[in-house]
Amino acid sequence: MKNYFFLLALATITNCTYFSQQSSKEPLWFSSLIHQLRVHIFNPYDLNNAETLAVYLHGDTPGDEGEYMLHAARKVSLQNLVSAAIIRPGYRNSRGDFSTGSTNGERDNYSIENIESIWQVTQKLKTKFQAKKLVLVGHSGGAAIAANLAAIHHEEIDGLVLISCPCDIHAWHPDWTVSLSPLDLADRYSKDIKVIALTGQDDTATPPYLAEVFISTLKKHRLTNVELRVPKKMGHNFIIKRPEVIDAISELITQVPREKEVWKSEGTVAPPSKNNACK
Domain ranges of the chain: 2-255
Amino acid at 218: L
Structure confidence at residue 258 (pLDDT): 57
Q: Collect all residues with Cβ–Cβ distance below 8 Å to 251 and sequence separation of at least 6.
A: 196
Please state the three-class secondary structure of 36-104 as a single string: EEEEEEECCCCCCCCCEEEEEECCCCCCCCCHHHHHHHHHCCCCCEEEEEECCCCCECCCCCECCCCCC
What is the distance between the alpha carbons of residues 128 and 250, in angstroms, rounded to a whole number?
A: 22
Distance CA 76, CA 83 (A): 9
pLDDT digits (tens, 9 = 90+) for 90-123: 999 888 899 999 999 999 999 999 999 999 999 9
Amino acid at 94: S
Greater confidence (157 vs 237) lies with 157
What is the CATH code for 2-255? 3.40.50.1820
Average pLDDT over residues 256-262: 57
Which stretches does DSSP call E strand in the chain?
28-31, 36-42, 52-57, 81-86, 133-139, 159-163, 194-198, 226-229
pLDDT(240) > 50: yes
d(CA 26, CA 22): 8
Mean pLDDT, rounded, of the chain: 85
The 8-class DSSP code of residue 190 comes to -
- pLDDT value of position 22: 38
Confidence grade of residue 171 (pLDDT, cut at 50, 70, 90): very high
0.75 surpassed by pTM: yes
